[in-house]
Structure 1
Amino acid sequence: MLFRPLLPSNVLVAEMAPVDADPTCLPSRERALIERAVAQRCREFAAGRTLARGLLRDAGADIDALLSDSDRVPIWPQTVFGSITHCGSLCAVAVVPVAHADGIGLDVEPAVPVPEYLLPRIVRDTERAQLAALPSALRPLGGLLVFSIKEAVYKAIYPQCRVFLDFHQVEIAFEGDDGFVADVLVPAAAPPAHARIHGRFRIADGHVASAVVLPRR
């Protein structure tokens, strides 16, 4: 499992390939959310919802359907925080009780380098030295890693604060072999005491994965 090594034991996590998901098996209220979507999007959505409802059942927060709000954010039961991420080849979902965390965010991407012309939109000038210092084997994926980390950070904080951020409004630094710290540069965009966020990343099985769990304050 790609994400399990990145998350504490009190976080429930599940993964599947979207190709194995069946959108026709979704509850009618979930199917209604993708009635105009293309086939690939339907499979990714179905994988996420199927995994999420299974984890919620395991967490004692069973629901009939996991719907979305006007910002397309999943409406999780009040007893948990959750995060869904998917790409064409993998979907992952994590759920953690609110008693154990202040938020959670996952991101998965295919391990394909970001085109050079896109890097200035993602990487701050102050982060370029971080990329240059990565091990040589990781350097080609440095821009993608920054993208994935910032996506995971955003997904951990946006559902609570509802402040839109661009990639230059979060600054990251790598810690050790698989850790990072992210500074949210817009104070209102992060929950109290979470302007500096720690997380972990992993590159394996053709994917880049990033995960954030906000510790309970």
Structure 2
Amino acid sequence: MTRLPALPACCTPLRADWPLPQPLPGSVWRSTDFTPAHLLADDFARSAIEMPASIQRSVAKRQAEFLAGRLCARAALLHLDGTCATPAIGEDRAPVWPAHIAGAITHSNGRAGAVVALKSEWQGLGIDLENLLSDERARRLVKEILTPGEQRRMAEGCDEDVALVVTLTFSIKESLFKALFPLVGQRFYFEHAEVLSWSKDGHVRLRLLTDLSTEWHHGKEIEGQFAVHEGQLLSLVAIAA
């Protein structure tokens, strides 16, 4: 049994408790809280994780979040099927997973997490963690993040949900991109998908507004989920095999 190095002082013990409303069968989740101020110069070396050149040039916050995310990913892979690997950074800056693995990493404001699964069960995974926007900032960003259809649907809802809706729309589209980009190899943006519906129990439904491939075409609908905890919103899109 492979034994991983001790965690650096900048990271809390890894958690395995599933944070979203619906379980994802066959997947493994790991998360941690991290404190950039506690990052030491040799934490990467002692953790046996290579620091890419782009990260070496970064500030402590970026280094700590990268390390925390990779620690979560490595532990999740090991638990999933015994794979001992740390995802590198690809040319598109996305994590490079073992060929048989679908996975995603996210981090925001002192928290990081990773989810992995076998591609035989889930061909695409996307997760995204965001701080909840303030009501004032959300209203400023509405036209930048929401499509006209999303804006109409938001106007028909509760005024007190504006910050949640804007944060959720941003986050779930980030998750959608992470899940689909490895499958279609084509970039797409906020205006190329829309949130059709969401509910307080964490269910989200999206629709593509562009053609990405034969399978992932304009009008294709996709399910997602989200949860809010301590001022942060975590979203996930999982594409079944």
Is the TM-score greater than 0.5? yes
Given the alignment of the two structures, is residue 63 of structure 1 paired with residue 84 of structure 2, yes or no? yes
1:140 aligns to 2:163 (yes or no): yes
- Provide structure 1 residue ranges, at least 5 long, that are not aligned to the other structure: none
Q: Which runs of 5+ in 2 are unaligned?
A: 1-16
Alpha-carbon spacing, 1:193–1:64, altered in 2? closer, same or farther (3 Å): closer
C-alpha displacement of 1:102: 1.8
Q: Partner residue of 2:75?
A: 54
Aligned CA-pair RMSD: 2.3
1:32, CA displacement in angstroms? Answer: 4.2
Specify the alignment match of 1:185 in structure 2.
209
Contact 1:157 1:191 in 2 (8 A): no
> Matches of 2:189 and 2:236 in 1, distance apart?
19
User: What's the TM-score, normalizing by structure 2?
Assistant: 0.80
* 2:44–2:50 Cα contact (<8 Å) kept: no
> Would you say 1:203 and 2:224 are equivalent positions?
no
Q: What's the secondary structure of 1:164's corresponding residue?
A: coil
Distance (whole Å) between structure 1 residues aligned to residue 22 and residue 107 of structure 2: 16
Query: Does the CA contact (< 8 Å) of 1:23 and 1:31 recur in 2?
Result: no
Deviations 1:90-134 (A, max 9, x none): 111100111111211001111223443322111011012332344
List aligned pairs for 1:83-98, cutoff 5 A.
83-98=104-119
Superposed displacement of residue 200, structure 1: 0.7
Q: Which moved more, 1:107-116 or 1:2-11?
A: 2-11
1:45 alignment partner in structure 2:
66
Q: Number of residues paired by the alignment?
A: 215
Partner deviation per Cα, 1:3-38 (whole Å, 9 max, x = no partner): 343441321111111227744534353454511111
Identify which of 126, 133, 138 aligns with 1:105: 126
Secondary structure (helix, strand or coil) at the match of 2:204 reads strand
Give the letter for the 2:185 counterpart.
R
Matched, 1:17 2:33: yes
State the percentage of identical aligned residues.
Answer: 25
Is residue 143 of structure 2 the alignment partner of residue 120 of structure 1? Answer: yes
Go from structure 1 to structure 2 and tell me whether the alpha carbon gap of 1:138 and 1:80 turns closer, same or farther (over 3 Å shift): same
Q: Tell me the TM-score normalized by structure 1.
A: 0.88
Greater shift, 20-29 or 157-166, is seen at 20-29
Quick one: distance in 1 between partners of 2:186 and 2:199?
30
Change (3 A) 1:23 1:110: farther
Q: Which has the larger radius of gyration?
A: 2
User: What SS does the corresponding residue of 2:103 show, helix, strand or coil?
Assistant: strand
Structure with higher RCO (Cα < 8 A, 6+ apart) = 1
How far apart are residue 201 of structure 1 and its match? 1.2
Tell whether 2:214 aligns with 1:214. Answer: no
Q: Is the 8 A contact 1:40 1:88 kept in 2?
A: no
- Contact 1:172 1:183 (C-alpha < 8 Å) held by counterparts: yes
